[in-house]
A and B are shown apart, each in its own frame.
Chain A
Amino acid sequence: MGGLQKKKYERGSATNYITRNKARKKLQLSLADFRRLCILKGIYPHEPKHKKKVNKGSTAPRTFYLLKDIRFLLHEPIVRKFREYKVFVRKLRKAYGKAEWTAVERLRDNKPGYKLDHIIKERYPTFIDALRDIDDALSMCFLFSTFARTGKCHVQTITLCRRLTVEWMNYVVTSRSLRKVFISIKGIYYQAEVLGQLITWLVPYQFAHDHPTDVDYRVMATFTEMYTTLFGFINFRLYQTLNLVYPPKLDSKAESELKAEHEEDYAMDSESYLEKLSALSASLARVVATAEEEEENQLDQFPADGEDLENMEAREKEQKEQEAQNRLFEGLKFFLNREVPRESLAFILRCFGAEVSWDKSLCIGGTYNVTDETITHQIVDRPDIDKQYINRYYIQPQWVFDSVNAKMRLPVEDYFLGVTLPPHLSPFVEEKDGDYVPPEKLKLMALQRGEKHVQEEEEDDDDDDDDEEYNDEVDDEDLTEEKNLKKMEDQRSQGKQTLAVKVTPGKVKPWETGSVGNKVRLEKEEKAEEKRLAIMMMKKKEKYLYDKIMFGKKRTTREANKLAAKRKAHEDTSKAEKKQKKAKKQ
């Protein structure tokens, strides 16, 4: 019974957390500065497990940070810079007030700045860490690079973002690491595999932004500040891994080719190089001039057996597929019409080894003209074109995207001018069993397996076949479970109606005499019954969990069914329309 009474909230979780305001006071920063610091250092609030305990008995909604985080911020040199900047602003204001222009100039010259290098290094101790976190940086930089040069943020930031994104695109082109592309209503998604990391980014369409008023651009600018630093270092490192010169230089050969006679008409000297780089039509200069970069990095054969061998084979196969995809457009010569998004298409086509050009008036860097006879594909996005060359395909841009996603050159017929395009599917969706798979995807999968493209009339049957095939692939266990589920539902729903039937007295089931199928059915029923009884004996907690899982499963099946029904209705209506049209024609 001895000893001091322990005070409340002086131990345990209450001491591990700190509220935002207290943290701010501890750091002696204004809220804006605190936020900026959090953004730069990647500090985020934590949700304590026992909120009331941490909040010292109060239930008021508060934001909590880990005390360790805040202590860690205390030693940050950037904090001092923030304070210096505050002083600088005060001095500047004073000088302005006194109209001391020399002082203003002097202060301006000595404006305190800070670098984020150490923070980047600290947040991302290894390069892979940084690469893993680059998705947001990419999307943000691509967004900022499309901003107008006036207004929302500094021009330097915009140009820097542009420069970095161009560098990135050049890297992806050179390393041929683009994997998937997707045209969404938001913008164009790209997915690249860089050093084993899947990196996805979203590029908005090239339109002027309608800047919303309820967005705090300072927050975005702070993020961008951090992201550009991170992104620059990553680019440097990536260029280094490919033996490329950083900042990127065009190949001397390419450069001489690109030398246009009216360069200065097109852009200022300072900008033209970046523009040439962003044209993406030329290869980059290397530090060590290798003769040809085509060193086939063959997988060495290791003596292996059993599972290892299988793994190895799988890996080898994968790599081969990958290489095949990388050479998807090799040997093709594309010409982009002026109405298609040049940068995006040039980027994708170059990533897969095609030659691309465009009209000279469209952008710098076009290497050949429309009149070139060797052009194999011309990408057009208009209903019709006047002068057509006979030895090239005129296709819509979706062909490129779909082909990339399918990892094969799709038949061009579906993508000719004026043709209603097939639906564009997201390559990021990986359907699990039980999910709805759109029929186009099934068709595509059949095509990838090497099946012949069948005629329209047979399509429906084909679809069914595919369905079945697909179902066969589904794990048996899950399938049975699904069936069980459905059966149970049926039973439940039918329970009331069939009661009278069930109760008919004296009807002994043919236990032994039944046929084989009957036996199987009986066995199944028995199993279902067993399961149901076992479920009754579940513990409350587990029952809850089980119910939740089952609910989720049922929901997915319900949604899939809904989509399938919708599709069916749509097809019915479209068929009816077709028939009507035919009838009218006749």
Chain B
Amino acid sequence: MRTVNLESQKNGTMSKAKEKSAKKRVVEEDDDQLPIFDKDVTEKKAGEEDDADLSDSEESVFSGLEDSESDSHDEEEDAEEGDDEEDDDDAVILDEILTKSSGVETATEPPATDKNTPTDIRNTVGNIPMEWYQDYPHIGYNLDGKKIFKPIRNKDELDEFLDKMENPDYWRTVHDKTTASDIRLSDEQVDLVHRLQKGQFGDVNFNEYEPSVDFFTNEVMIHPVTNRPQDKRSFIPSLIEKEKVSKLVHAIKMGWIKPRKPKETTPQYYDLWAKEDPNAILGRHKMHVPAPKMRLPGHEESYNPPPEYLLTEEERMAWEQQDAEDRKLPFLPQKHSCLRAVPAFSRFIHERFERCLDLYLCPRQRKMRVNVNPEDLIPKLPKPKDLQPFPTTMSLVYIGHSSLVRSISASPTGQWLVSGSDDCTVRFWEVNTGRCMKTLEVGGAVKSVAWNPNPAVCLVAVCFESTVLLLNPGLGDRLVVSSTDQLITSYEPPEEDKEQAVTWALSEGPEHDNGHRLTLTHPKAVKQVVWHGKGDYLASVMPDNSSNLQVLIHQVSKRRTQNPFRKNKGLVQCVSFHPLRPYFFVATQRYVRVYNLIKQELTKKLMTNCKWISSMAIHPGGDNLICGSYDCRLAWFDLDLSTKPYKMLRHHKKALRGVAYHKHYPLFASGADDGSVIICHGMVYNDLLQNPLIVPVKVLKGHQITHDLGVLDVTFHPTQPWVFSSGADATIRLFT
């Protein structure tokens, strides 16, 4: 009888056997066809699922090992021969993974030494699907290369069935496909299978619940655990270690590895400035600005300050309501009676921190502190004393008008003064006494009066509403008065009467007795009249922004009127004749235009840099001009120098109303709404290279401010260094 020995490599005696327990036939023992196994033969039985014969076998397959017969073994196994069964069982291993597909090809054991089986019928085809051999008579080759033939008759379904029915061992028979033989499992093998199925140990005798014995006990034993003598290598130094150590030593020697230094916690100080170079610029550059030092504390920071430094209740409230940046003091001064009562300052760290921030975040700048004595800033001017004469004191007040006096004018002899007021009167005063010589009622508020500068003619031009009246006041020399009358009556109208812009009318009757001589009726309201230096020509201004008929020039002797301008160049404020040459000055709101009357062209346009010109006066020399403006400025033009102001004087606090030059003395005056008249010394040199010298010499006050108006007009005495001023307080004042 042959038994199947399935061995696996692992334990040397292990093989795999597959059991299809339910469907396999029992291996016929006497079947001569069956190959005879040596115990060493490794049998592999792959339970091929797709195998037709074993179609429905898919359950677990076990590998078993049997060594029922006493066989020849290796030397090792020989030692345990007596206990072979146990040994076998030991070696059985459940290998589920291997069961499914083809198992691992097992290495061959040394050739069998069994005498009963001289031929090795082990199949050598390897792990291949056996259906490849379906069409062949053999199923493989044995070790000698001889074909292993299939059994002559394959079992068919019927045989199978019969076998199943008849063979009592059918359930323990497995089919080995590689050898095409059936193998009947022995009892031990079946037992093994059962045990493994239950998950028990394969070895029957293995007691899994044995008490464990510690290898090392806690008791100290007198003998060593092993009796083995110590190795020689434990006595001699290790070469490998030596090599490693020498490497480290070398690295240390070379300075590649540094020994761990003890940490130095305290910094080392030495004489850093032992070799200092006083000339060294600060490392970076010369633009370094050292940080300013902290402000030193004042009395108010004391813990016990003088009482005046403590804040009162209101001040404290104000301090608390202020923003931190706005506060003058960053802390509240406090008084403590003794040192022990002083608490910690709560903002100490804050302040230090802010200082830090200042040091590294604030841009630094060198600020040039002007350490200048304010006295040095004041310009050195000649003393007013040296510039005398000029009016210094108010000597006369001419009282009589009942409303503001708009305009005044002195007679060329300097004996009389005429004034026109808003109370619709023109008054004639004697300068030296302040006596009102004559009062004339006119038909409206008088805007402007002008005394004829020709001493041989006694005529006064008065303008109100749209009329310009030429008066003969009848003052002074009788001869002059009568000659003036004669001059007016001697007029003979020309043959061809030209259409004029103005109607000239001779006064008669009571008006004539009052002194009215000629009435010039203008188409529009007249604001200003001004005489030419010779006294024959007269210019009147009718400010109107929309027409070219703003300025008219009249010739008294010929009773002729002409309009010199064809175009409107802006609202005309005032006009003036050049004292010597045929020039005509027209001041519009911002510019002064100088026209040549003979050539009939614009010669100059002066930029005043003012917003609104109020008045204008021309130096008797004719090369200089002053302009007063409502924006508190007085501009001095040197006509030879430039069209821009030579000097801009901002002496007045309010709008300038009138400016005037003195005929002979180097003086000019300006009157303004602040009620003051400022007299300046304005010396014009004949030398063209020398600029005019302007020195304010006197501020004259006297006029009272009424309705926000102060001085309305100023004019100089023609011969004396006196100045007249008329004001909104209905008075005229004389300063000498």
| A123-B282, A530-B384 known; A426 vs B298 contact (CB < 8 Å) | yes
Is B379 part of the binding interface, using a Cβ–Cβ cutoff of 8 Å? Answer: yes
Is B397 part of the binding interface, using a Cβ–Cβ cutoff of 8 Å? Answer: yes
Mask: chain A, 226-260; 1 = CB below 8 Å from B; 0 = not? 00110011011100100000100000000000000
| Stretch of B30-38, B357-365, B519-527, B718-726 lying at the A interface | B357-365
Is the Cβ of B377 less than 8 Å from the Cβ of A44? no
Is the Cβ of A183 less than 8 Å from the Cβ of B342? yes
Q: What is the CB-to-nearest-CB distance from A412 to chain B, in angstroms, rounded to a whole number?
A: 16
User: A495 to B702, alpha carbons, bound, how many Å?
Assistant: 11
Is the Cβ of A505 less than 8 Å from the Cβ of B270? no
User: A426 to B295, alpha carbons, bound, how many Å?
Assistant: 13
Is the Cβ of B290 less than 8 Å from the Cβ of A132? yes
| Stretch of B74-82, B330-338, B581-589 lying at the A interface | B330-338
User: A369 to B699, alpha carbons, bound, how many Å?
Assistant: 81
Is B607 part of the binding interface, using a Cβ–Cβ cutoff of 8 Å? Answer: no
- When distances are taken between beta carbons in the complex, the residues of chain B under 8 Å from A536 are 649, 651, 678, 696
Is the Cβ of B307 less than 8 Å from the Cβ of A423? yes
Is B162 part of the binding interface, using a Cβ–Cβ cutoff of 8 Å? Answer: no
Q: What is the CB-to-nearest-CB distance from A343 to chain B, in angstroms, rounded to a whole number?
A: 13
Is A331 part of the binding interface, using a Cβ–Cβ cutoff of 8 Å? Answer: no
Q: Which of A39, A202, A207, A439 contacts B344 (CB 8 A)?
A: A207
Is the Cβ of A44 less than 8 Å from the Cβ of B362? yes
Is the Cβ of A160 less than 8 Å from the Cβ of B266? yes
Q: What is the CB-to-nearest-CB distance from A141 to chain B, in angstroms, rounded to a whole number?
A: 11
The closest CB in chain B to the CB of A202 belongs to: B294
Mask: chain B, 63-98; 1 = CB below 8 Å from A; 0 = not? 000000000000000000000000000000000000
User: A205 to B341, alpha carbons, bound, how many Å?
Assistant: 11
Q: What is the CB-to-nearest-CB distance from A486 to chain B, in angstroms, rounded to a whole number?
A: 15
Is the Cβ of B381 less than 8 Å from the Cβ of A533? yes
Is the Cβ of A200 less than 8 Å from the Cβ of B360? no
Is the Cβ of A205 less than 8 Å from the Cβ of B356? no
By size class, the interface of chain B is: 35 or more
Q: Which of A39, A135, A210, A425 contacts B360 (CB 8 A)?
A: A39
| Stretch of B17-25, B134-142, B232-240, B272-280 lying at the A interface | B272-280
- When distances are taken between beta carbons in the complex, the residues of chain B under 8 Å from A411 are none
- When distances are taken between beta carbons in the complex, the residues of chain B under 8 Å from A130 are 273
- When distances are taken between beta carbons in the complex, the residues of chain A under 8 Å from B331 are 185-186
- When distances are taken between beta carbons in the complex, the residues of chain B under 8 Å from A215 are 349-350, 353
User: A187 to B306, alpha carbons, bound, how many Å?
Assistant: 18
- When distances are taken between beta carbons in the complex, the residues of chain A under 8 Å from B646 are none
Q: What is the CB-to-nearest-CB distance from A485 to chain B, in angstroms, rounded to a whole number?
A: 10
Q: Which of B271, B345, B372 contacts A187 (CB 8 A)?
A: B345
| A505-B396, A537-B696 known; A545 vs B370 contact (CB < 8 Å) | yes
Is the Cβ of A503 less than 8 Å from the Cβ of B269? no
Is the Cβ of B299 less than 8 Å from the Cβ of A425? yes
Is B153 part of the binding interface, using a Cβ–Cβ cutoff of 8 Å? Answer: no
Q: What is the CB-to-nearest-CB distance from B574 to chain A, in angstroms, rounded to a whole number?
A: 25
Mask: chain B, 149-177; 1 = CB below 8 Å from A; 0 = not? 00000000000000000000000000000
The closest CB in chain A to the CB of B353 belongs to: A215
- When distances are taken between beta carbons in the complex, the residues of chain B under 8 Å from A133 are 290-291
Is A193 part of the binding interface, using a Cβ–Cβ cutoff of 8 Å? Answer: no
The closest CB in chain A to the CB of B338 belongs to: A381
Is the Cβ of B381 less than 8 Å from the Cβ of A397? no
Is the Cβ of B302 less than 8 Å from the Cβ of A423? yes
Mask: chain B, 382-401; 1 = CB below 8 Å from A; 0 = not? 01110000000111110000
User: A123 to B359, alpha carbons, bound, how many Å?
Assistant: 14
| A233-B269, A382-B340, A505-B395 known; A185 vs B345 contact (CB < 8 Å) | yes
User: A546 to B395, alpha carbons, bound, how many Å?
Assistant: 35
Q: What is the CB-to-nearest-CB distance from B291 to chain A, in angstroms, rounded to a whole number?
A: 7
Is B403 part of the binding interface, using a Cβ–Cβ cutoff of 8 Å? Answer: no
Is B378 part of the binding interface, using a Cβ–Cβ cutoff of 8 Å? Answer: yes
Q: What is the CB-to-nearest-CB distance from B137 to chain A, in angstroms, rounded to a whole number?
A: 69
| A204-B345, A215-B353 known; A534 vs B381 contact (CB < 8 Å) | yes
Is the Cβ of B272 less than 8 Å from the Cβ of A237? yes
The closest CB in chain B to the CB of A495 belongs to: B701
Q: Considering residues B285, B309, B698, B702, which has the most beta carbons from chain A within 10 angstroms of its beta carbon?
A: B309
7 inter-chain pairs at a CB distance below 8 angstroms, sorted by A residue, are: A45-B362, A68-B285, A117-B272, A229-B267, A233-B269, A531-B378, A546-B377
Residues on B close to A: CB < 8 A?
260, 263, 265-267, 269-273, 276-278, 280-285, 287, 290-291, 293-294, 296-299, 301-309, 312, 331, 333-334, 336-340, 342-346, 348-353, 355-357, 359-365, 370, 372, 374-375, 377-381, 383-385, 393-397, 649-651, 678, 694-699, 701-702, 704
Residues on A close to B: CB < 8 A?
35, 38-39, 42-47, 63-64, 66, 68-69, 72, 109, 115, 117, 120-127, 129-130, 132-133, 135-136, 139-140, 143, 156, 160, 182-187, 189, 200, 202, 204-205, 207-212, 214-216, 219-220, 223, 228-229, 232-233, 235-237, 240, 246, 339-341, 381-382, 396-398, 420-421, 423-426, 428-429, 438-440, 477, 481, 495, 499, 502-503, 505-506, 508, 526, 529-540, 542, 545-546, 549-550, 563-564, 566-567, 570
